[in-house]
Amino acid sequence: ITEEIWQSMPGTESESIMVAEWPEYNEKLHFGEAAEEFSRVVSAIKAIRVQRNELNVPPSKKVTMTVETQYTTLFSDCRRFFEKLAGAGEFTVTEKADAAEGMMTVVTDSARVFIPMGELVDKDKELARLDKEKKAAEKDIEFLSKKLNNPGFLAKAPAQQIENERAKLAKAEEKLAKITASIEGLK
């Protein structure tokens, strides 16, 4: 905390933060229940942003969102956070929503968010991009598999390098699985 901020805070009697007493804990300033409630909203926004990022949807693109949750008042009150941080255009909160064909579903512990796929991506363009990424991942897996199956490499390489290559292979396989799942989700 800087001196300037310290001076603007209410209840600061000392002239400088450098000579001030360590602050006492004030129970009135603890908002545990509110923080727990807001964490539900934060987790939904994070999950939406992760999905948008995986689909390469620009943050500025506004999309329709329908939120199914038992916390309807909380999510309705936090509409502006979804608009600013998750890119919501039209925003609806309900206790029961039906997942329709062509909807991306984002699931968290306290909500399900439905977003029409047509608003997020150009399906053909995205499939072409994912196919290109899939081929690159398959090429990486093939290269790393050959390297790790080469007895000469295994005999001469340091153990740390072999572990690094195995980690790269596992990461490439995980990436391929995600890409394949994304392709299936778009079809």
Q: Residue 1: which pLDDT band, with cuts at 50, 70 and 90?
A: low
- What structural domains and CATH numbers belong to the chain? 31-120 (3.30.2320), 123-186 (1.10.287)
pLDDT at 129 (0 to 100): 84
Tell whether pTM > 0.75.
no
pLDDT in tens, 138-176: 999 999 999 999 999 999 999 999 999 999 999 999 888
Burial class (CB in 10 A: 0-12, 13-18, 19+), 22: exposed
Give the amino acid at 174: E
| pLDDT higher than threshold 80 for residue 13 | no
8 Å CB contact between 40 and 110: yes
pLDDT at 19 (0 to 100): 80
DSSP strand pairing (112-116 vs 63-68): antiparallel
DSSP strand pairing (88-94 vs 63-68): parallel
